[in-house]
Chain A
Amino acid sequence: MASQFGIGQPVRRSEDKRFLTGRGTYVDDINLPRQTHAVVVYSPHAHADIKSIDTSAAKSAPGVLLVLTGEDAQADGLGGYGQALMPEDVGGPPGFRTTRPVLATGRVRHVGERVALVIAETEEQARDAAELIEIDYAPLPATVLAEDAVKDGAPLVWDGAENNLCFPLMMGDADATEKAIASAHYVAKVHIYNNRLTTNPMEMRGTIGDYNRAMDEYTLYTSTQNPHGVRAEVAGHILHMHETKLRVIARDVGGGFGLKGGVFPEDALVVWAAGKLERPVKWVPSRSEAMILDDDGRDQTLDAEMAVDKDGKILAMRWIALNNLGAYVVGPGAVVPMFALGMSQGVYKIPTMLVATKAVFTNTPPTTPYRGAGRPEATYTIERLMDAAARGIGMDPAEIRKRNFIQPSEFPFETHTHQIYDSGDYATALDKCLELSDYKNFAKRRAESEKAGKKRGLGLSYYIDNTGIFNDRMELRFDPSGSLTIVAGTFSHGQGHETTYKQIASDLLGVPFEDIKLVQGDTAAVSFGRGTYASRSAHVGGSALKAAAEAVIESGKKFAGMMLEAGESDLEFVDGLYKVTGTDKAIPMTEVAKFAYIPAGPPSELGTGLEGVGNFATTMSSFPNGAHVCEVEIDPDTGKVVIDRFFAVDDMGNIINPLLVAGQIHGGIVQGVGQALLEDMVYDRESGQLLSGSFLDYAMPRADDVPSFQIGMSEVPSPSNPLGVKGAGEGGTVGATPTVINAIVDALESAGVTNMELPATPERVWRALSKAA
């Protein structure tokens, strides 16, 4: 039903009022009666044997209630955190599996590995007492960079994982690719370090465990993207209890970006400790602790080649990579290199290709999905290659892309890496973006910049994302007053589901938008769900919601039939009304819902109330895609890069709320710009010490680091789901990083610079210019 609150409308967010008035509820805003405070003691060494731990002074310090170590965890039989998915689970090669303990015993394998937990009446007392724990470490040689980890004689992170290999991956045809490259007109080559990043959601991970002795039940309040996932890991795999004994609650979550899709030792530690103390245990890190204790993202090193003929047709592509997994392969960590290979073909027809990686262990914190998770690595690589190839044969970068695009008539299109792309019209989106960005007049703007002593470059890229994963369920429940509750298996942590899901339900059922409420994030209120990550919620959650609406309509028919004195087969549901076909007899859904709650008499025999459950299983991903164009201006004296103009035209399928999609694109682009220009998680190559462990050392984009973007849409509805949507959460990030770097290389090409490492800091740009000169 078309209304101002329906699908496709720029509905303003229902959730904003509490955030704008300071009434959001994040973990640190929750304080429970008799609450205690936990501090984690972590390893200061990247690799060391623990010779002894003396907790006696800490235990007798003021206010201290409990000190726990890995030996206590072992004595209580606690398990650890394994893998959500490994390549071998989907037919790939076997890998070396690790189990991340909640507290280490015997050996620590990265700076930040948890060694002890101190719980006291106040946070200050716990921090003071943590200083009194004496741990005797025998440091061991560490390996930090992936390229060092695979060298002969490198320190081994795990006995039994030879050359620090967790698993290899390879797709494509080695011989055919070699042959094509050997005889090609031109071969573009790029060496890339897709640098390590940290998420830094503005709300740090925090977690509170509670135990109710009367009911023998635990409650965990945590900052997660996936409450049921946390319950399964903490209850099922770590504390070995029935999941029914643990209730996980996530209220407002201050950003996640993939980080909070996983489970962390602290989630289990506070539950375990709460049971021992029979008091709530709260853990909230400082920012610098969070930066040490969080998992990181990206960290892929590769050499890539693309062979083209003189007309710019791609003949072959090859890249050989190393993915740095850190010390443990945890949760969805292995998914990152799998996605990087899977999406490596980009939006192009490539006759033959080979992509391979070795996912290796190092003495660094684990790497896990961070906004994009492998798709940024894939797009970055191929889009750098496209520009290098265009430069090599003297072709316009837009033209070489157009000559190689997969065409709209070729969908579904299977890549060499076994992805089946659903739909797209790449040339149309690119043309729109070229038009929007006034591409044809770039030379004039460059000349203006030159006059001012600045180097201007234009960067272009065409990204492709892969969104929607797994199945999920949604429930719709009317109450006796006729208002409607959506019970979501997904979990909004900034995306605005409280608004978009209500739009969908209002549209499909004709229930007023303001009469609908969203329930999420509480395992006692939501029977099951898989959370929000991989831009899955509109695709999977939205489709499940549509199925739930259809179930409601179907089960409401018997009540409507009774009200309208008609047979069910004579009813149709149109614009929120049950109608008797061919007559003007009609009744709105909300009236039928109220009727379904009548406690006695004929309707009561048809059922108690009106509700519906919907399921949707992803059998085909959706593949959002789009063109980015940006122009940078560089001051050659300082190396400072200024993004002057930025344009994006995206195909995100059908749009549920254009305002919110624009917000996802803006925010996504800025995170991609962050990787391109500022963000860098650096560990000392020898010692494994974190060198960028505060907001003073790890730079993120500020408001004056980015321009205002102009974005446009070029929708091609996806056939992969009944709403025709494609996930909007990550495309901006996937596309922005190569766009910015391509622009910088373009700006510096005339000065002899042919490559630029990530991030392109002023120092790095200045050095590249100086070296070339």
Chain B
Amino acid sequence: MTETARLPEVEVSLTVNGERVTRRIEPRMTLVDFLRLELELTGSHVGCEHGVCGACTVRVDDEIVRGCLMFAVQADGTNVVTIEGLADGGSEDDLLEAFRERNAVQCGFCTPGMVMTASDLLARYPSASRDEIREFLSGNYCRCTGYQAIVDAIEKVSQSRAGGGR
């Protein structure tokens, strides 16, 4: 019979939401599974497992990535921020409030990935037009909102940050 024993575990050590964590894991474990199963950070959602839907978006160092397309071992030594860390950090409170203010949340499943992406967009392109916002968001599926309220929320933050208001 075929033997399917667990693969030898390897050690990974990284910073997640400001805390240093070290775990021994199977090398085939994805980053999103690592966050969800090892660290119980379940805000990063698994929506497709093939990098299309964006629900698992997290920040690794200075880039947002698909947590389902990256192995946890590849994040060894990096600085990872998830929705929990971003939301608790306080620096994006205006973005979270704008999502609520503009009704950009319905079922909530895509929301963490949307917020992570929106945060990255606002940092990179602080004065993005609505079309540019739509293009940047096009890697994140939302099945509920029709995207309009999400675009509204991001545009609102972009304008208020440009105006000096936070």
In the bound assembly, the distance between CA atoms of A601 and B140 in angstroms comes to 61
B46 at the interface (CB under 8 A from A): yes
Given A57-B1, A202-B107, A703-B137, A287 and B47 contact (CB-CB distance below 8 Å): yes
Q: Is the CB of B50 within 8 A of A20?
A: no
Query: Quick one: which of B28, B109, B146 contacts A666, CB cutoff 8 A?
Result: B146
Closest to A120 in B: B4
A residues in contact with B166, CB < 8 Å: none
Q: Is the CB of A287 within 8 A of B49?
A: yes
Closest to B130 in A: A708
A745 at the interface (CB under 8 A from B): no
In the bound assembly, the distance between CA atoms of A62 and B36 in angstroms comes to 24
Closest to B110 in A: A202
A54-85 CB mask vs B (1 if < 8 Å, else 0) is 00010011100000000000000000000000
Q: How far is the CB of B40 from chain A (nearest CB, A)?
A: 8
Quick check: which of A9-17, A44-52, A137-145, A548-556 contacts chain B, the rest being far away? A9-17
B99 at the interface (CB under 8 A from A): yes
A676 at the interface (CB under 8 A from B): no
Residues facing B in A450-495 (CB within 8 A) are 493-495
Interface residues on B, range: 35 or more
B106 at the interface (CB under 8 A from A): yes
A665-682 CB mask vs B (1 if < 8 Å, else 0) is 011111100000000000
In the bound assembly, the distance between CA atoms of A612 and B77 in angstroms comes to 58
Query: Quick one: which of B2, B41, B101 contacts A61, CB cutoff 8 A?
Result: B2
Q: Is the CB of B109 within 8 A of A703?
A: no
B residues in contact with A694, CB < 8 Å: 48, 50, 52
Residues facing A in B30-71 (CB within 8 A) are 36-37, 41-50, 52-53, 55
Given A22-B84, A61-B4, A286 and B49 contact (CB-CB distance below 8 Å): yes
Kindly name the residue among B53, B100, B133, B139 whose own CB sees the greatest number of chain A CB atoms within 10 A: B100
Query: Quick one: which of B46, B83, B100 contacts A12, CB cutoff 8 A?
Result: B100
A309 at the interface (CB under 8 A from B): no
B residues in contact with A254, CB < 8 Å: 45, 107-109
Closest to B88 in A: A21
Q: Is the CB of B1 within 8 A of A61?
A: yes
B143 at the interface (CB under 8 A from A): yes
B148 at the interface (CB under 8 A from A): yes
Kindly name the residue among A19, A28, A709 whose own CB sees the greatest number of chain B CB atoms within 10 A: A19
Query: Quick one: which of A26, A129, A669 contacts B109, CB cutoff 8 A?
Result: A26
In the bound assembly, the distance between CA atoms of A666 and B37 in angstroms comes to 35
In the bound assembly, the distance between CA atoms of A696 and B50 in angstroms comes to 9
Q: Is the CB of A60 within 8 A of B1?
A: yes
Q: Is the CB of B111 within 8 A of A255?
A: no
Q: Is the CB of A494 within 8 A of B100?
A: no
Q: Count contacts between A and B, CB distance < 8 Å.
A: 191
Q: Is the CB of B105 within 8 A of A13?
A: yes
B residues in contact with A24, CB < 8 Å: 43, 108-109, 111
Closest to A24 in B: B108
Interface residues on A, range: 35 or more
In the bound assembly, the distance between CA atoms of A705 and B2 in angstroms comes to 47
In the bound assembly, the distance between CA atoms of A57 and B2 in angstroms comes to 8
Residues facing B in A122-157 (CB within 8 A) are 124-125, 128-129, 132
In the bound assembly, the distance between CA atoms of A305 and B150 in angstroms comes to 41
A663 at the interface (CB under 8 A from B): yes
B residues in contact with A719, CB < 8 Å: none
In the bound assembly, the distance between CA atoms of A29 and B41 in angstroms comes to 9
A residues in contact with B135, CB < 8 Å: 703-704
B residues in contact with A662, CB < 8 Å: 103, 149
Q: How far is the CB of A738 from chain B (nearest CB, A)?
A: 18
Q: Is the CB of B4 within 8 A of A704?
A: no
In the bound assembly, the distance between CA atoms of A365 and B2 in angstroms comes to 32
Q: Is the CB of A708 within 8 A of B110?
A: no
A274-300 CB mask vs B (1 if < 8 Å, else 0) is 000000000000110000000000000
Q: How far is the CB of A336 from chain B (nearest CB, A)?
A: 20
Q: Is the CB of A706 within 8 A of B108?
A: no
A residues in contact with B142, CB < 8 Å: 202, 703
A residues in contact with B103, CB < 8 Å: 12-13, 659-660, 662-663
A203 at the interface (CB under 8 A from B): yes
A199-230 CB mask vs B (1 if < 8 Å, else 0) is 01111100000000000000000000000000
B residues in contact with A204, CB < 8 Å: 47
In the bound assembly, the distance between CA atoms of A257 and B109 in angstroms comes to 14
Given A21-B88, A128-B4, A695-B52, A12 and B149 contact (CB-CB distance below 8 Å): no
Q: Is the CB of A703 within 8 A of B151?
A: yes
A residues in contact with B144, CB < 8 Å: 202, 255, 494, 663, 667
A residues in contact with B83, CB < 8 Å: 21-22
Q: Is the CB of B99 within 8 A of A668?
A: no
A residues in contact with B133, CB < 8 Å: 703
Q: Is the CB of A496 within 8 A of B134?
A: no
Q: Is the CB of A255 within 8 A of B109?
A: yes
Question: Which residues of B come within 8 Å of A, CB atoms?
Answer: 1-6, 26, 28, 36-37, 41-50, 52-53, 55, 82-84, 87-88, 96, 99-101, 103, 105-112, 115, 130-131, 133-135, 137-151
Please name 14 pairs of A and B residues whose Cβ atoms are closer than 8 Å in the assembled complex, sorted by A.
A16-B100, A22-B44, A25-B42, A28-B45, A61-B2, A62-B3, A124-B28, A129-B4, A202-B141, A660-B103, A662-B149, A663-B106, A668-B146, A696-B50
Q: Which 9 A-B pairs have the closest CB atoms?
A: A22-B43, A19-B108, A254-B109, A494-B107, A666-B146, A22-B83, A695-B52, A670-B146, A21-B87
Known contacts A494-B144, A666-B149; 4 further A-B pairs (Cβ under 8 A): A19-B105, A24-B108, A255-B107, A704-B131
Question: Which residues of A come within 8 Å of B, CB atoms?
Answer: 12-13, 15-26, 28-29, 31, 57, 60-62, 124-125, 128-129, 132, 200-204, 252-255, 257, 286-287, 493-496, 659-660, 662-663, 666-671, 694-696, 700-706, 708-709, 732
